[in-house]
Amino acid sequence: MPVIAVVDYEMGNLHSVCKGLEKAGATPNVTYSPKELEQADAIVLPGVGAFDPAVQQLRSRGLEQPIKEAIASGKPFLGICLGLQILFESSAEGTQPGLGIIKGKVRRFRPEADITIPHMGWNQLEITQPKSILWEHLPSDPWVYFVHSYYVDPIDPLIRAATITHGTQTVTAAIAHENLMAVQFHPEKSSNIGLQILSNFVAQVREKIPA
């Protein structure tokens, strides 16, 4: 089974993510070792919490450069929730610079009379990259589970793989570009749809492992 490094920087729901990856047919390895990130077949960057502590933790553990190098090398990479947001240049939630792997900013939902912030619960994806491996074997416009007050706003709209609408605001829910994929929702909390998305990611990892 492919070995997937799950980055441990004390900001993620590691147990649930690992369980989901195991069900999807992978061997998760929770680690903050740059060497183990390099040796893994793929990397998952989960995240729950605030932007500034997250990037500070990554940098204090010397993980920023190994993550950048892994993505640049073509290694399959999946960011989840905060693990999507910290790939961007900056966030309205804090003052620390993000990793800057994706050009753009993280913005806060505008208050509206009929919406809740944080955006919490099930919402329907509007797929904008129908050929992305993330969405294989899924129904059109599937429902997934969210918990967030901030959303990513990439400069390049072509990397958006899906959007959602919350109130009158339509925002990015997933991005995909070559080996780099990341989602704002929690696949590990999204029942069978989420498990299929993780299985799709694991299938891509298998394809890249030399025979």
Task: Parse the chain into domains and list their residue ranges.
Answer: 3-208
Cα–Cα distance, 201 to 181 (Å, whole number)? 9
**What's residue 210's pLDDT?**
74
**What's residue 211's pLDDT?**
66
Q: Which of 119, 148, 166, 186 is catalytic?
A: 186
CATH architecture of 3-208: 3-Layer(aba) Sandwich (3.40)
Residues of the chain below pLDDT 50: none
Cβ atoms 98, 86 nearer than 8 A: yes
pLDDT tens-place string over residues 141-150: 999 999 999 9
Q: Which of 18, 81, 148, 166 is catalytic?
A: 81
Cα–Cα distance, 120 to 86 (Å, whole number)? 20
Cα–Cα distance, 211 to 207 (Å, whole number)? 9
Reading the block at residue 26, the tokens are 């992978």
Q: Which of 18, 119, 166, 188 is catalytic?
A: 188
**What's residue 20's pLDDT?**
96
Q: 């994929």: which residue's tokens? A: 181
Is residue 188 among the annotated active site residues?
yes
Question: What is this structure's pTM?
Answer: 0.96
Which residues does 97 contact at the CB level (< 8 Å), separation at least 6? 55, 89, 90
Reading the block at residue 125, the tokens are 């994806």
Reading the block at residue 168, the tokens are 């009158």
Task: Report how far Cα 167 is from the mean position of its chain's Cα atoms.
Answer: 23
**What's residue 12's pLDDT?**
74
Which residues does 16 contact at the CB level (< 8 Å), separation at least 6? 186, 188, 189
pLDDT tens-place string over residues 148-170: 999 999 999 999 999 999 999 99
Burial-class residue 176 by CB neighbours within 10 Å (0-12, 13-18, 19+): buried
